[in-house]
């Protein structure tokens, strides 16, 4: 009801406007033809930018009258029917809340599948139009088997430069029958994404819903890059044109998007530093680096290599060059979500300075393009990871609260040395100062977003100001909520949680505390 009231002032005469959630429910129940996406985003007070839809039952055969002289009655009947449908859908929304995560997760799976399937269709269309030569199935299977049998951990595959020569950098709009993938491949994709979703543990923050939120942020990033490419024109630096085209390519979008869904699979609910401290078997296996990320990557990859996903794999890559690009970028995208690995972050910053901040780079031509694209895509993956901090304050607060709950539970389970309520306020300020704001500036420096990148910095700065003003009060509320009424009273949660007494601890947790 709160969302509906905020949307009401953005409506139009004689039209019924519905939210994304309502549109999803109608689509889920076979009534997707009733909705039309509104071309412009609305700005609703307290909600920020929203995608809404028009409800149009006149597109339904049952809503059409066969009597030519009953126009007024037909319009009245349609209006009543529309109102009735909205009421029923709203009632169903309430029942979904009671039914819990299962239905919500299914809707998220379906949404992710639709996005990924569209990209796969575009990839296939590009291959047909540009005459991509496939390798034999025997060769592809050999490449897959050799990688699966390798004892090299994913982080050893990490390099500063991915070869994007196999990427066409084009988007074919062909919709002919010969450029359409078999429907059975979509069924495999559906099964794969559903399996990934079930591999997520029941954590407040590191969950499939957050992975889907990252996916949504990524697609917004990519849509702006595609728009930038389409409106750039023929003039300009050839290298800049090339790396813009590479990043906008559907194969690149698909790989980064899939990695965003895979990156949190089977997350332990604690930061990597805790797994290292506990000397967990995973930490030992992965050399104490990017532990959760490497684990998730290998689970997702092993699943994809299963015999039931042969068609899906054939839609992702058809030759050795595509296979290698997919694998390299998949690894890079998943590992880039670990922003607390000092060695890898230092490496990224050094490369960024060389390519963007220190005058003319020493590389030229395709090497320069490959290096820039590799780094920009890592930056985009990280930005999606922290997208909630670059969006409206309500979204930031929602995900920050869930991350706090996760950290609070870990502390209660003796899987953390410090009560998050004691350092969270300073940690969030550090999170903005050392991670989010520098990242938004890199998005602008990358040159692939144009002026639209200013929005991310503006939101980050605004959220930081809001947090400074309201953060301590928010922490008090979050602490009571996470602990429960009795525990909170017993613990005597204060209105102004003190900063960590140990200076060394405070510095160490300045950023990490909010990135668990």
E strand or H helix that includes residue 125: helix 101-130
pTM of the shown model: 0.76
Q: How far apart are CA 11 and CA 54, in angstroms?
A: 9
Q: What is the DSSP letter of 58?
A: G
Alpha-carbon distances of 102 from 99, 194, 209, rounded to whole Å = 7, 11, 11
Q: How far apart are CA 158 and CA 165, in angstroms?
A: 18
Nearest to 196 by CA among 123, 300, 278: 300
- Our count of domains for the chain comes to 3
CATH code for the domain of 135: 1.10.1300
Q: Is residue 448 a contact partner of residue 243, using CB atoms and an 8 Å limit?
A: yes
pLDDT of residue 499: 36
Residue labelled with tokens 């639209």:
452
| Distance, C-alpha 450 to centroid of its chain | 21
The torsion of the CA quartet 489, 494, 499, 505, rounded to 10 degrees, works out to 0
**Same domain, yes or no, for 93 and 133?**
no
Bridge partner residues of 37 (DSSP)? 53
Q: Is 182 helix (H, G, I), strand (E, B) or coil?
A: coil
* Dihedrals phi, psi of 359, to nearest 5 degrees: 75, -145
**Same domain, yes or no, for 460 and 363?**
no
Q: What is the DSSP letter of 168?
A: -
From 99, 129, 161, the end of a domain falls on 99
**Same domain, yes or no, for 137 and 284?**
yes
Residue 175: other Cβ atoms inside 10 A: 9
**Same domain, yes or no, for 51 and 134?**
no
Nearest to 48 by CA among 453, 454, 392: 392
**Same domain, yes or no, for 155 and 45?**
no
Q: Is 35 helix (H, G, I), strand (E, B) or coil?
A: strand
pLDDT of residue 6: 57
| Residue-number span of the structural domain to which 414 is assigned | 386-516
Residue 332: other Cβ atoms inside 10 A: 23
Q: Is residue 288 a contact partner of residue 326, using CB atoms and an 8 Å limit?
A: no
Q: Is residue 232 a contact partner of residue 166, using CB atoms and an 8 Å limit?
A: no
* Dihedrals phi, psi of 108, to nearest 5 degrees: -65, -40
Q: How far apart are CA 465 and CA 455, in angstroms?
A: 16
pLDDT of residue 364: 86
**Same domain, yes or no, for 169 and 190?**
yes
Q: How far apart are CA 391 and CA 397, in angstroms?
A: 10
**Same domain, yes or no, for 186 and 249?**
yes
Alpha-carbon distances of 293 from 298, 330, 485, rounded to whole Å = 9, 11, 35
Nearest to 322 by CA among 91, 143, 102, 79: 143
**Same domain, yes or no, for 378 and 400?**
no
**Same domain, yes or no, for 128 and 139?**
yes
DSSP annotation string for 126-157? HHHHHTPPPPPHHHHHHHHHHHHH----GGGG
**pLDDT mean values, one per 10 residues, the chain (516 residues):** 55 71 63 72 65 65 41 43 42 42 83 97 93 96 95 93 84 58 96 94 96 96 89 60 89 98 97 96 95 96 95 98 97 95 93 85 88 96 96 96 97 94 97 97 90 92 98 94 58 39 40 49
**Same domain, yes or no, for 119 and 95?**
no
Q: How far apart are CA 428 and CA 426, in angstroms?
A: 5
Q: What is the DSSP letter of 42?
A: E
Q: Is residue 171 a contact partner of residue 239, using CB atoms and an 8 Å limit?
A: no
pLDDT of residue 502: 36
Q: Is residue 308 a contact partner of residue 274, using CB atoms and an 8 Å limit?
A: no
**Same domain, yes or no, for 71 and 192?**
no
* Contacts (Cβ under 8 Å, ≥6 apart) of 478: 401, 404, 405, 408, 421, 424
From 76, 99, 122, the end of a domain falls on 99
Q: How far apart are CA 121 and CA 144, in angstroms?
A: 23
**Same domain, yes or no, for 92 and 114?**
no
375: tokens are 């780094």
From 99, 117, 132, the end of a domain falls on 99
DSSP annotation string for 73-122? HHHHHHHHHHHHHHHHHHHHHHHHHHH-HHHHHHHHHHHHHHHHHHHHHH
């Amino acid at each position: 009801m709160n969302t509906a009231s905020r949307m009401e002032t953005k409506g139009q005469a004689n039209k019924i406007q519905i939210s994304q959630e309502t549109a999803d429910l109608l689509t889920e129940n076979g009534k997707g033809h009733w909705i039309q996406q509104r071309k412009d985003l609305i700005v609703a007070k307290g909600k920020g930018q929203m995608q809404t839809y028009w409800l149009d039952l006149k597109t339904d055969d049952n809503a059409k009258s066969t009597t030519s002289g009953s126009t007024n009655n037909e319009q009245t009947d349609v209006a009543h029917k529309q109102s009735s449908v909205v009421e029923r859908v709203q009632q169903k929304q309430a029942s979904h809340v009671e039914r819990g995560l299962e239905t919500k997760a299914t809707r998220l799976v379906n949404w992710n599948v639709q996005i990924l399937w569209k990209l796969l269709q575009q990839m296939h269309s590009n291959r047909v139009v540009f005459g991509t030569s496939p390798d034999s199935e025997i060769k592809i299977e050999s490449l897959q088997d050799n990688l699966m049998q390798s004892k090299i951990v994913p982080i050893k595959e990490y390099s500063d430069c991915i070869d994007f020569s196999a990427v066409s950098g084009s988007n074919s709009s062909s919709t002919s029958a010969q450029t359409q993938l078999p429907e059975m491949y979509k069924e495999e994709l559906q099964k794969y994404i559903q399996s990934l979703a079930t591999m997520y543990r029941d954590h407040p923050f590191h969950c499939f819903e957050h992975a889907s939120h990252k996916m949504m942020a990524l697609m917004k990033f990519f849509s702006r890059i595609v728009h930038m490419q389409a409106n750039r024109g023929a003039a300009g630096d050839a290298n800049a044109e090339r790396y813009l085209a590479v990043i906008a390519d559907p194969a690149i979008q698909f790989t980064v998007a899939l990695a965003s869904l895979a990156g949190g699979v089977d997350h332990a609910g604690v930061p990597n530093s805790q797994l290292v401290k506990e000397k967990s078997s995973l930490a030992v296996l992965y050399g104490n680096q990017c532990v959760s990320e490497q684990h998730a990557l290998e689970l997702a990859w092993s699943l994809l290599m299963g015999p039931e996903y042969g068609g899906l794999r054939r839609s992702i890559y058809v030759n050795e060059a595509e296979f290698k690009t997919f694998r390299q970028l998949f690894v890079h995208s998943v590992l880039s979500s670990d922003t607390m690995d000092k060695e890898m972050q230092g490496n990224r910053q050094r490369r960024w300075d060389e390519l963007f901040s220190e005058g003319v780079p020493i590389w030229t031509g395709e090497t320069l393009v490959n290096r820039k694209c590799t780094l920009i895509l890592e930056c985009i993956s990280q930005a999606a990871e922290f997208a909630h901090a670059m969006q409206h304050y309500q979204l930031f607060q929602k995900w920050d609260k869930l991350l706090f709950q996760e950290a609070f539970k870990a502390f209660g389970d003796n899987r953390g040395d410090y009560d998050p309520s004691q350092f969270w306020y300073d940690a969030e300020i550090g999170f903005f100062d050392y991670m989010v704001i520098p990242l938004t500036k890199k998005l602008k420096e990358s040159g692939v977003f144009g002026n639209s990148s200013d929005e991310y910095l503006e939101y980050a700065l605004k959220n930081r100001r809001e947090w400074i003003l309201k953060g301590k009060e928010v922490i008090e509320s979050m602490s009571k909520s996470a602990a429960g009424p009795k525990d909170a009273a017993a613990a005597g949660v204060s209105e102004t949680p003190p900063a960590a007494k140990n200076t060394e601890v405070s510095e160490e947790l300045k950023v990490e505390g909010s990135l668990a």
